[in-house]
């Protein structure tokens, strides 16, 4: 062999004149340093000419990269991310349309309320005029959208525990999906420090703080969990710090091992009761005075 033997291009071992089977080489291959691959490919008989090589390279990179993108995007955590974003969009749109509907329907009927529930009731009516049928048809869309949001929620509730068992048990499936969505995937979430997990969803406040405006946010989206919102305000900082710490451990276990670990859930429950006990202590001290 020549001195080329130490470094092999992506085309090594492939059939001459064909880019079939190149995906693994393109995805998994590596080299310590680059070389004049077009020239080497011609010397090795893989391509007839440099132009021919570029044609094969184009075909191979487009095919391999497309297949890898499909695989990466269909990973279950990415599906969860789309589902939770779609649920929020459907919810928000249903509410917006319901508001518009209430404005409009109020001019035609004298007994309509506001909100999605009112739209659902409206959609059961029989229209008497072409104008009424437009309004009632809009009410049906609101009903459909709200139903879609509900179905997406049940899909998430069923799917999240499969993708991230520990995180879903600790945070609840919907908050788990939201954290994955905010981080951009389970792996990304697993690699974030818990201080970042603590303020995910509070980016505006965080960057305002870093730029010198305002105090640092104590919690982001994890506020929606009872552990944080159900703790009295002066202890919420401790509660969200403890909660975020265990959440990021849960995300790491889910990403790297995937097994359920009951003990971390017990540890968090312990810590939470300690934090909440402070409120009772303060209350009893207050009683003595």
Partner 1 sequence: MTGLPEGIERRAFDGRERLSTCGQPVYGEPTDGEWRCWDAGRSKLGAMLETGMDVDLSGGESVLYLGAASGTTVSHVADFAGPTYAVEFAPRPVRDLIDVAEDRPNLFPLLKDARKPETYAHIVETDLDLLVQDVATRGQAAVAVDNAQFLADEGQLCLAVKARSEDVTADPETVFEQVREEIAAAYEIVDTRRLEPYHGDHLGIVARKR
Which residues bind to partner 1, rule: CB under 8 A? Answer: 7-10, 25-26, 29-38, 54-55, 57-58, 61-62, 65-66, 68-69, 72-73, 207, 210-211
**Helix extents (H) in the chain:** 22-28, 37-43, 50-73, 76-108, 115-122, 130-163, 165-171, 173-183, 186-190, 194-199, 203-210, 226-229, 236-256, 262-288
- Nearest Cα neighbor of 248 from 171, 163, 161, 160 is 171
Question: Whole-number minimum distance, CB 78 to partner 1, in Å?
Answer: 8
For partner 1, the closer CB: 73 or 151: 73
Question: Whole-number minimum distance, CB 24 to partner 1, in Å?
Answer: 12
Spacing of C-alpha 206 from chain mean position: 20
Question: Whole-number minimum distance, CB 153 to partner 1, in Å?
Answer: 24
Question: Is the backbone of residue 254 left (phi > 0), alpha (psi -120 to 50) or beta?
Answer: alpha
For partner 1, the closer CB: 72 or 92: 72
Integer CA distances (angstroms), 261 to 122, 170, 193, 271, in order: 48, 11, 20, 17
For partner 1, the closer CB: 58 or 92: 58
- Nearest Cα neighbor of 181 from 167, 169, 166 is 167
Report d(CA 228, CA 265) in Å as an integer.
16
Question: Whole-number minimum distance, CB 59 to partner 1, in Å?
Answer: 9
Question: Whole-number minimum distance, CB 121 to partner 1, in Å?
Answer: 40
Report d(CA 253, CA 267) in Å as an integer.
15
- Nearest Cα neighbor of 156 from 88, 71, 249, 224 is 88
For partner 1, the closer CB: 69 or 266: 69
For residues 22 and 11, the answer to whether their CB atoms sit within 8 Å is yes
Both tokens of residue 142? Answer: 């609101």
Report d(CA 179, CA 198) in Å as an integer.
10
For partner 1, the closer CB: 17 or 29: 29
Question: Whole-number minimum distance, CB 46 to partner 1, in Å?
Answer: 13
Question: Whole-number minimum distance, CB 149 to partner 1, in Å?
Answer: 23
Spacing of C-alpha 58 from chain mean position: 33
Both tokens of residue 198? Answer: 């603590």
For partner 1, the closer CB: 108 or 208: 208
Report d(CA 1, CA 177) in Å as an integer.
54
Question: Whole-number minimum distance, CB 27 to partner 1, in Å?
Answer: 8
């Amino acid at each position: 062999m020549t001195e080329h033997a130490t470094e092999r291009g992506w085309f090594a071992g492939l059939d001459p004149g064909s880019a079939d089977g190149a995906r693994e080489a393109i995805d998994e291959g590596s080299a310590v340093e680059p070389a004049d691959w077009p020239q080497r490919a011609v010397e090795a008989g893989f391509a007839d000419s440099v132009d021919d090589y570029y044609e094969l390279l184009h075909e191979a990179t487009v095919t391999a990269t497309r297949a890898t993108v499909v695989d990466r995007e269909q990973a279950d955590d990415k599906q969860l991310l789309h589902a939770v974003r779609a649920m929020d969009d459907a919810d928000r749109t249903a509410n917006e349309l319901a508001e518009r509907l209430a404005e409009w329907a109020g001019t035609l009927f004298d007994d309509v309320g506001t909100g999605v529930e009112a739209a659902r009731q409206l959609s059961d009516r029989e229209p008497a005029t072409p104008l009424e049928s437009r309004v009632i048809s809009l009410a049906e869309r609101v009903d459909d959208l709200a139903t879609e949001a509900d179905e997406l929620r049940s899909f998430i509730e069923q799917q999240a525990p499969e993708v991230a068992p520990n995180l879903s048990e600790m945070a609840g499936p919907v908050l788990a999906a939201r954290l994955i969505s905010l981080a951009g995937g389970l792996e990304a979430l697993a690699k974030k420090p818990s201080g970042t997990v603590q303020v995910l969803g509070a980016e505006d406040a965080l960057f305002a703080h870093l730029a010198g405006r305002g105090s640092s946010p104590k919690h982001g989206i994890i506020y929606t969990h009872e552990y944080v919102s159900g703790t009295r305000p002066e202890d919420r900082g401790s509660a969200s710090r403890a909660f975020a710490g265990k959440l990021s451990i849960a995300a790491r276990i889910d990403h790297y091992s995937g097994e359920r670990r009951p003990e971390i859930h017990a540890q968090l429950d312990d810590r939470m009761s300690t934090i909440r006990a402070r409120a009772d202590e303060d209350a009893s001290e207050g009683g003595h005075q």
